[in-house]
Structures are given as C-alpha cells and as structure tokens.
Structure 1
C-alpha cells in the first residue's frame, strides 16, 4: 500500500488528489497525534502557506480540522516554509502546518507538518497520522472546547529578525538580483536582504495565485541570468515557491548550484571553526566534483538518500552543522530546523564581503563533472526501477563508466517520474549513457 506521506509531506493536484476533505482530515489527525493536552495552556498549531490560489481553500480546510479537535489555529499568512518551522518553535506551538508544493507547478499543492520545536516528522509519526486519517474522526469537543482561529500579526517581523542573524557582516556595496518565483519569498526575501545592507533588485515578486514557479525561480534560471547581466549586479539569487531553496548566478551569468554553494560555505565554516566534526552532509545526487573538492580541503562527506529529510536525520544524528542538496536546499542548524533559502543567500553574500572575492572565484573551489539528468514519466515508478531490463541497462552503464563516473537511477519522491542521472569525464559520454538507460525506462512506462 502506498504511503500517504511522500518525501516532503502530502502532495498532489489540488482539488483532485489533495482535496479539501483530505486537508481537513490531515489537520484533525495532526491535532490528535501532536497536540498535547495540558492543564494550564491552550493547544496551538501554526499554519502558513505559499501564494497558490488553492492554498486559500486548503488553509481553510486545515484550520477547520485543527480547530475541530480543540486546538487553536494561529494563521501566519504567506511565509516561507522555514518560517513556519521557526515560528512553531518561537510561538511554543504543538505543531506547524505549511501548505505548499514547493517548486512544483501551480496546479499542485502540498501539506507539510512540523512537530514540536519545528522539526520534520519521522516516518512513525507520519504513519500514525495517516492511520488516523484513514480511521476517521472520533469524539470532538463542543462549545468552549472548540479551537479558535487567530492571526499572528508579528509573524513576518519575528522571522526577519531571526534570519537576519545569518548575515555575519554588513552587506553594504553588494548588489543582488533576487528571483522570488512569485512565491512565498516575494516579500520576505527582498526585506531580509535590504535589512542586511544589500542593494536589491527583486524580480518575479508579484504573486497572483496563478503564476508561482511559472518560468521563474530556482527551476528556471534564464530570466535571473539575463537580469544580472543587464543590471551589472554582483550576483543573482533564485528561490523556489516556498523559499527553502536558493541557487545563485555569478556576475557573468554562470549558474552556481547547490553543490558549489555547499563547498563555498563548508570552506568558510571550516575556516571559522563552525564546521562541526569537519563534516559536510550531502545526498547521492551531489556531483563527484563536490567530493573531490572536500577531499582536497580535508573535509569529510557523509552521503544520504535523496530528500532533505534524510539530510536532516543524518545531521541530527551526528550533530553536524552543514548539509544540503544539489537543488539548493541547504540546512544550517544554527539558523533553523530545516533548509532556508534566505539564510543561504545571506551566508553566500556574507562570504563575498568577508573575503572581498567575487562569487565566481569562490565557487571555483569546485570543478563540476559533466552531469546529465533525464526525467522519465511513468505510471508506476517503483515497479519500473525494479524491472530486470532496467537493472541490466544500469549495470552495463556502470561497467562502461568504471571509476571515471557514476550512474544513479531513482524514483521521484513527489511525482510519477524516474530520474536517470549520469556523471562522466565528458558530457557526450554522460548524455549517451543517460539516453540509453532512459529509453529502457521509457519502454516500461
């Protein structure tokens, strides 16, 4: 039986897979599982969303589910996902709910749940909530026992004060173009960067509920590159729909991905003594160039499965201070319990100011090996990856690469896709092998 929760909450097309009824049931089940009764306190859930039009409907349903269980719903409005995690802790709430599908297209939406302290839930807690959703509601309070709906007027201000601590030096003299993806960063990111001293040129910062991630943001960098070149800015930063990611563009318009940002920050934190156990945590999707750069610097790399939750689990287990993904989802536990794209942006610009070096030079600490990624649409991603012919195709590609590259085949955690990734010493070899394996995968769709 397929799990209700994926690698990043519950996702689907809003009003089709992710209905108002399911959102209500999730709010109710989360309240029953996570809100602890106490004699002298009311139970509280923090609820936020990105600007998708469907978020209005789903927020109303989640609020109804939460309050039906006698838990107060503290609405914080449109804010980044990491803000919800932080505010769950800051308001001493029982749990937090973020309504967002991150970088996915507008018709999709999702529900992420944070436990006490703003931490992502483990599999056991998610499975228990899923069981409660399936079993339906129990006895509910009436009268004064019903939860109330409150609006947190100071939520944005609290969050901005918090992320502002990530700027370890004034950013005066830095000009940055920030692509807000018409998403949750549209207000928060320009405010945070200006407060730190940077001159900010904001693009794609006018959400209307329908334009989130539409040809912009961290998955579409061409517009940002053009804006950086046209304005003569020092760099560009791109966030995704819920602003837990950050990718960069240097002054010449060259993309600086999450791997290069991790290398840049790892070297900075090693120098300042902040890199716990001299270790970086990355996923299997990180480029071999990251491993080579870290080996040269004497920094260990711990590798996890794909998904920020696995990075977080490894970081918490080892008490590490930096981890992340090639997609630009970086985690710095000193500034939050989950990835925060605005924190990443502030740290990158701080490093530029501290060293007096341009982003291109800092990112040059890593040489990226050619990497080709092909997404293949399928009807059953798990069955396809286990097919004998697909496994044989992967084995043949591995034999051809030897120790000069690698191949990775994995099902997407949020969509019906199989991702084929190949790294090799030259791009032609990587592309040919990726196409060969992808064609085999496609034959089983």
Structure 2
C-alpha cells in the first residue's frame, strides 16, 4: 500500500517502499528547496536504517550538505531544522502505523510539515522526475549530529513554563516508548526533572512489543507496571514520539484529550497568556482550561499543519490535537511529547497535585468516536447535504467536514483523508447526551 497525504508519504515495505522510491523523493525534495543544509532523522524502525542511508546518499549526490541525527523523535528533527540554517528536513517515520510500514515526512525551513500546496509541489516534482544530480567527483557533505536529543532536552528545560521547578524527589516513572525514538530522550528528560525513570519498553531496538499506536487498549502492561512499581505516573509515546499518553499513579490512562488540556493549563498558569488553538475533534476541556485564565480558543481542521498555521496566524501561545499532540511555539512549531511531558510535570510540581487530582478538577465530559464505511466520495456529498439541512442552526464550520456545536456539546463529521470511511466524533456532559447526539446524526444518514 502506498499513501501520499498532507502527512507526507507512508507505504508498506517491499514492493511499495523501495530504495528507488526513497531516492526519487529525496532528489525531488532537494529540487524544490533553496540552497542550504537538510536535516535527516529516523524514528527507530529497523527499516529506517537503510532508508536513512539512501536518503543521505541521494541528497549528497544533489550537492546537499546533510545533517544526520540518527534515531530521534520527529519533533527533534523539527526543532533542529527550525533552530538552524537548514532549508528543510526529512523525518523517516510511519508514525503509529504497524511494523511493515515506514514513510517520509517533509519539513520546510521553519521545521513545519509541508502544507497542502507544499506537498502538491513535491508530488508534482516527483511525478515529473525533477531534480538534478551533481557531476562533481566529491558532491555534498555529511555532518553526524550525535547530541540532538541532548539539545532538544536542554531547549525544553530552558522554557519559562518549565524552568525553575521545585526540586525533584526521585519518584519513579514508568516509560513505554515502544522501543523506538523516545527510548532515550524520555528517560533523559525525566532524570533532568528529578524523577527516576523505569524503562518498560525503551531499549531503542525499534522492535514493537505491542501495537505501536498509544491507545489505552495497547498499553495494559504500562498500567500494571505503574501499580507494581508504585510509580508517580506512567508515560507512553508513539514510535516517532510526537504523541503523549499518561497514566496516573493508580495505573489508569488519563485520556489523550486531557494531555493537551493539562499542557495548555501549564502554559497559561505560568503567565504566558494568549489564544489557544486545537482542531475540531479536540475536547472542550481545553476551552474549560482556557476559560480559567480568560483566554480564547479557536479551532482548525484536523492535521498538525492546519493547527500550526492557524496558531501562527493568530499568535497562539499553545495548542495541539486531542490525540495527545502538544504544540508549544516557544519551543518549536510542531507536536512534541517531550514538551508536553515537561509542561505537565511542571504543572504537577508547581501545584503539588498528582495527575489524577489535576484531572479531577476538570468538568466531566464524555466523548464518543465512531466511524463507518463510505461507498464513494459522492456518498459524503449526499450525507453532507442531509446534515447541513437537519442541523442548519448548529453549523459552526464546514472547512473540515461539518462541525456542529451547541452550548455544552459538539459533533464533528468528516471523511478520512486516507481511508474510505466517515468519522463521527461527539462530546457532551454525559454518556446519555453524547449517545443521543451520535444517534441523531447516524440515523439521519441511515447507519
């Protein structure tokens, strides 16, 4: 399978993802950038090793200076691109996709993923066979950057919302980095914050011990380990460590939606006030938190690049997506589990509260996510018309499917960018209310 989307390129190993394909995309990417260095990093999957070698060789053959980071989180590639003279970056990752997959994410000079126009320009260059190799005997150069994660941690610790914390007491914290790019940087950050990390799945081998997406159903071992070790909390990240999932001291997952809300609270509580941006499918718990500090919340279409661009337009101080992706521009313009972890640790330390106690202070909100198959894109147009007619008085936005809103509840109906399915996500103060909301939408379209 081969997928090109706003999230870059993802494909299955073998016939779809080959050295020739990787080299072709590298050469095309080089052709659309101005002169200057390109940063390359990989998420830890074993296939990323050969892909990295192919990328470096192809870019050097184009005359590029390449900064090779090795196994690092995607946010580290973003940070090292944004805070340097690099003109672009490539993260070798398939995010949370299973082991047979890998992929490429392309960054501009600001360390931000290419937007729809940028990706289209790249796809056009690939399809046209654009790009030229240098005829020089010695072309391009290679710089091995061996301290990228140390630089990342130092940058995070210097943030105003994180610095000058009360001293740590060596509390144990269990880490599940799915043996990938978070394996060393997460424990490193925790140690610097005064905790005692207990690696559960953090050996850096790239071999997944369980399904790699950090969903509660895949993280049973982490919950049990938190209880067994009497840990202060547990940390899980996905293979490229841009999403953060936390477990409280009782071994219960707090929910990814709370990750973004707590990180937003940490920023606003530090005195860094301003607008907050999340996507349409993110919980209104973020609105509850922002309201505590009198700050507005705006929403953007699903997708990191869409949230980042909206944040940049209105100078938002913090944002993210409900999948556990925290974006704090004071560090860099991208989702970052390391930033999110540091912010929430800072909030716990400054308030003297445990994770479960902070969560208990939030209003109760119940979210339900469901999906169903679409026969075609024409189906989506028909369904769109029915929903717009039935809920005309509650349409909040239509730039990413349909976002419906009521005083204390909402629903988001959208077609997937990568699968022939429609997603319906809703949130309300109670299970009964949210089920009623979901049923009112699905019954309308005959599901």
With normalisation by structure 2, the TM-score equals 0.86
Matches within 5 A, 1:355-374: 355-374=351-370
Alignment match, 1:255 = 253
8 Å CA contact retained: 2:98, 2:212: no
What is residue 40 of structure 1 aligned with on the other side? none
SS at match of 1:22: helix
Q: 1:50 aligns with which of 43, 66, 91?
A: 43
Say whether 1:318 aligns with 2:332: no
Distance 2:50 2:420 in 1: 25
More displaced, 77-86 or 55-64? 55-64
Question: Between Structure 1 and Structure 2, how many residues are aligned?
Answer: 431
Contact 1:75 1:150 in 2 (8 A): yes
Change (3 A) 1:436 1:116: same
Q: Which residue matches 2:399? A: none
The structure that is helix-richer by fraction is 1
In the superposition, relative to structure 1, how do residues 74 and 301 fare at CA in structure 2: closer, same or farther (>3 Å)?
same
Q: Distance in 1 between matches of 2:269 and 2:289?
A: 15
1:176-213 per-residue CA deviation (whole Å, 9 max, x = no partner) reads 22221222101111112112211111211135444276
Whether the 8 Å contact between 1:376 and 1:441 is mirrored in structure 2 is no
| Residue 306 to residue 181, structure 1, CA distance change in 2 (3 Å) | same
The runs of 5 or more residues in structure 2 that have no matched partner are: 395-403
Aligned to 1:80: 73
Please report how far the alpha carbon of residue 379 of structure 1 lies from its aligned counterpart in structure 2 after TM superposition. 6.7
Q: Which residue of 1 aligns with 2:190?
A: 193
1:142 paired to 2:140: no
Unaligned runs of 5+ in 1: 37-42
Aligned to 2:302: 306
CA RMSD of aligned residues (A): 3.0
Asked whether the 8 Å contact 2:19–2:51 carries over to 1, the reply is yes
Cα distance, 1:255–1:91 mapped onto 2, change above 3 Å = same
Specify the alignment match of 2:398 in structure 1. none
Q: Structure 1's 60 and 438: CA in aligned 2 closer, same or farther, altered over 3 A?
A: farther
Match in the other structure for 1:339: 335
Moved more, 60-69 or 308-317: 60-69
Aligned ranges for residues 267-278 of structure 1 at < 5 Å? 267-275=265-273, 277=274
Aligned partner of residue 333 in structure 1, secondary structure? coil
2:208 corresponds to 1:211: yes
Aligned to 1:407: 411
Q: Is the 8 A contact 2:184 2:204 kept in 1?
A: no
Alignment partner, residue 184 of structure 1: 181
Instruction: Give per-residue Cα distances to partners, 1:395-432, cap 9 Å, x unaligned.
Output: 66899996563322223344444322122343245346
CA distance in 1, matches of 2:15, 2:85: 34
Task: Note the C-alpha offset of 1:316.
Answer: 1.0
